[in-house]
């Protein structure tokens, strides 16, 4: 039993946890951070080893202990799945993220009032039966300064003022875009011919050496520029050009002297006092000993599955019945193209060195008669070492034998794809709950995910496949095909929805539990709707905003 009372217990020290730790500890609050995974050294994450980090990633120390179970319908048996979001080590999944650092659009925060309430569902001929579409309780303008802080503290490379759909911003990007690759050039030319609006995707990877200037946090370490080694998505960065809290925000937090970091410590329960407020956490330490830590504020920042599981296990924050409901995910659609002669060399450079168009993202286009609402970003993709590409072959081709060999030897360096991140709307049947059959190594029931794409997603995915195929054909690729999403999403959100109505949401706009005012839940789990972009920039902005709100509650910490 630890006697002292911390100001804050932070559960999960990853992407948002790293930002929260830095901001709160810098404001003088005593923060105890619990990270269930290890603190990796550079030799643990930076070897450019495609066997270790891609094909055997489910056996990584920071993946193998935290599987989920997954099924597409309640009538199915849930199967064991190893997921790489979260990544259970200090700094979390930012260590191996692709680097897509886009903001959401203003319309992404107000799908209900902008689209549902204004008759756009009927105009589109969409079928939203069974969905539970709501607005965010905050607007893009509320997050804008926090997006900016994320971009300037972590060093986002990009160019503003190119995309006509760009969300309003007070400042441009701190760094120019990453170097263009062959696939970016052919994509941009094809899109221009088709009348779309290509632009260099903002990336959380440094295009030049960088250290944040004033008025941002100048304690953040200087980092070198990307060397385009190409071992990026799934790998730790061997030069630290990739934005990751592990070697940026977390060392700054530790240097304050106010951040007590406890790695390999698994929080098993959030404790409450007689007043119903959170009083601290129970955890199992690195030696397997149970312990407790008292705190004035508890923050759960452990990704979608764990955020829901921990609240369910603790019996907290569910008076709305919404805990674990309306899980969201992108159903990525692909359009793949192979050139006979043009060399793409997709293995060079980071995946987030990309061109994209937002002509079919969000509510940026006329949906009349299309049969769905919302959209998704379309961008270049398709890197990776050879072992990551062995399943990339045209439909109908046997993926072994002489024909496959001849194809693969030539196509590996001449193929790329468009990745289209189709939004998923909130549906109460997509859930995370506790698996009654399987437990993890700490004896806790695994999170059980029940998820399927519903009618709006299926129509949107087919539409984007057609758009992507058209772009890919326009590039001049000789062999083109499309792939619809696998049953499980590529990026997850939802489960602890934020909202202004306590009867319909778990947390408020400050990620503060309606039921337990000194309990916060931060991360993509709070998203009421998902947008057609990855969550990273938005969860980071939410972390800055939540930290600011907590710091303002001086009376809590007297």
Partner 1 sequence: MASCWDVLSEPLRVLTPDEAQLVAAIAERIFPATDTPGAVEAGAITYIDWALAGDYQALLPLYREGLQEIERLAQARFGRQFARLSEAEQDAVLIELEGDGQGQGRRGSDEGFFQVIRRHVLEGIFGEPRYGGNRDLIGWNLVGFGGQQFGYEDPYINRTVDLPARADD
What one-character-per-residue DSSP string does 33-95 give? EEESS----HHHH-S--HIIIIITGGGSTTTTT--EEEESSTTSPPEEE--SSS--STTGGGG
Count of residues that interact with partner 1, criterion CB under 8 A: 55
Q: Which residue is associated with the tokens 């004035």?
A: 296
Helix (H) or strand (E) holding 254: helix 249-255
Burial 407-421 (b: 16+ CB within 10 A, else e): bbeebbbbbbbbbbb
Among 4, 49, 340, 437, binds partner 1 (CB under 8 A): 49
Is residue 441 involved in binding partner 1 (CB under 8 A)? no
| Closer residue to partner 1, CB minimum distance, 278 or 393 | 393
Is residue 118 involved in binding partner 1 (CB under 8 A)? no
Among 5, 80, 162, 255, binds partner 1 (CB under 8 A): 80
What is the nearest approach in angstroms of partner 1 to the Cβ of residue 411?
9
Among 300, 385, 422, 542, binds partner 1 (CB under 8 A): 385
Is residue 402 involved in binding partner 1 (CB under 8 A)? yes
Query: Which residues are 280's β-sheet partners?
Result: 271, 294
Distance, CA of 369 to CA of 540 (rounded, Å): 36
Is residue 48 involved in binding partner 1 (CB under 8 A)? yes
Is residue 390 involved in binding partner 1 (CB under 8 A)? yes
Is residue 380 involved in binding partner 1 (CB under 8 A)? no
CB-CB neighbours of 309 under 10 Å: 25
From residue 185, alpha-carbon distances to 36, 175, 182, 370 in Å are 43, 20, 5, 30
What is the nearest approach in angstroms of partner 1 to the Cβ of residue 68?
11
Distance, CA of 289 to CA of 283 (rounded, Å): 8
What is the nearest approach in angstroms of partner 1 to the Cβ of residue 237?
11
| Closer residue to partner 1, CB minimum distance, 372 or 416 | 416
What is the nearest approach in angstroms of partner 1 to the Cβ of residue 395?
11
Instruction: For the segment 470-499, give every residue that binds partner 1 (CB under 8 A).
Output: 486
| Closer residue to partner 1, CB minimum distance, 366 or 406 | 406
Task: Map residues 411-430 to x or -, x wherever contact with partner 1 holds by CB under 8 A.
Answer: -xx-----------------
From residue 226, alpha-carbon distances to 17, 194, 351, 353, 462 in Å are 25, 32, 12, 10, 35
From residue 417, alpha-carbon distances to 12, 56, 183, 399, 502 in Å are 34, 24, 9, 18, 43
| Strand, helix or coil for residue 184 | helix
Stretch that binds partner 1, among 50-58, 119-127, 427-435, 507-515 (CB under 8 A): 50-58
Is residue 182 involved in binding partner 1 (CB under 8 A)? yes
- Residues making up the chain, counted from first to last: 558
Residue ranges that bind partner 1, judged by CB under 8 A: 47-52, 54-59, 79-83, 179-182, 185, 226-231, 238-239, 342-345, 347-349, 385-387, 390-391, 398-402, 404-406, 408-409, 412-413, 486
């Amino acid at each position: 039993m630890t006697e002292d009372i911390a100001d804050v217990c932070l559960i999960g020290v990853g992407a948002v946890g790293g930002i929260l730790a830095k901001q709160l500890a810098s404001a003088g609050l005593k923060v105890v951070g619990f990270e269930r995974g290890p603190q990796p050294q550079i030799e643990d994450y930076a070897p450019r080893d495609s066997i270790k980090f891609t094909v055997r990633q489910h056996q990584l120390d920071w993946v193998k202990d935290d599987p989920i179970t997954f099924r597409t319908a309640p009538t199915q048996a849930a199967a064991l799945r190893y997921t790489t979001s979260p990544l259970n080590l200090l700094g979390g999944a930012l260590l191996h993220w692709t680097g897509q650092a886009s903001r959401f659009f203003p319309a992404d925060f107000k799908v209900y009032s902008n689209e549902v309430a204004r008759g756009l569902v009927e105009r589109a001929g969409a079928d939203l039966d069974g969905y539970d579409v709501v607005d965010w309780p905050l607007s893009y303008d509320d997050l804008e300064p926090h997006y900016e802080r994320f971009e300037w503290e972590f060093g986002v490379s990009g160019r503003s003022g190119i995309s006509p759909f760009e969300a309003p911003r007070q400042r441009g990007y701190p760094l120019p875009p990453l170097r263009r690759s062959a696939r970016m050039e052919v994509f941009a030319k094809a899109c221009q011919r088709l009348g779309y609006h290509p632009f260099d995707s903002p990336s959380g990877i440094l295009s030049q050496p960088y250290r944040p200037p004033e008025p941002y946090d100048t304690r953040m370490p200087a980092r070198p520029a990307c060397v385009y080694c190409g071992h990026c998505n799934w790998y730790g960065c061997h030069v630290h050009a990739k934005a990751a809290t592990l070697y940026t925000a977390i060392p700054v937090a530790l240097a304050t002297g106010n951040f007590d970091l406890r790695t390999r410590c698994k929080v098993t329960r959030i404790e409450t006092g007689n007043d119903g407020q959170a009083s601290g956490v129970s955890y199992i330490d690195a030696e397997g000993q149970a312990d407790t830590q008292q705190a004035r504020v508890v923050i759960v920042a452990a990704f979608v599955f764990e955020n829901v599981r921990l609240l369910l296990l603790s019996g907290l924050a569910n008076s709305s019945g919404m805990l674990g409901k309306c899980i969201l995910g992108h159903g990525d659609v692909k359009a793949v193209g192979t050139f006979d002669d043009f060399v793409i060399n997709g293995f060079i450079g980071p995946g987030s060195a990309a061109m994209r168009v937002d002509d079919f993202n969000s509510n940026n286009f006329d949906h009349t008669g299309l049969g769905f609402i919302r959209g998704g970003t379309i961008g270049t993709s398709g890197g990776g070492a050879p072992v990551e590409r062995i399943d990339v072959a045209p439909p109908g081709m046997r993926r072994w034998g002489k024909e496959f060999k001849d194809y693969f030897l030539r196509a590996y360096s001449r193929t790329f794809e468009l990745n289209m991140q189709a939004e998923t709307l909130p549906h109460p049947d997509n859930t995370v709950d506790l698996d009654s059959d399987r437990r993890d190594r700490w004896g806790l029931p695994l999170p059980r995910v029940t998820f399927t794409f519903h009618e709006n997603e299926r129509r949107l995915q087919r539409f984007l496949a057609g758009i992507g195929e058209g772009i890919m054909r326009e590039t001049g690729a000789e062999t083109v095909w499309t792939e619809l999403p696998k049953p499980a999403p590529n990026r997850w959100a939802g489960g602890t929805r934020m909202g202004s109505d306590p009867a319909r949401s778990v947390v408020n706009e400050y990620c503060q539990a309606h039921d337990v005012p000194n309990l916060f839940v931060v991360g993509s789990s709070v998203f009421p709707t998902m947008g057609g972009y990855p969550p990273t920039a938005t969860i980071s902005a939410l972390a800055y905003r939540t930290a600011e709100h907590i710091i303002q509650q001086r009376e809590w910490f007297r």
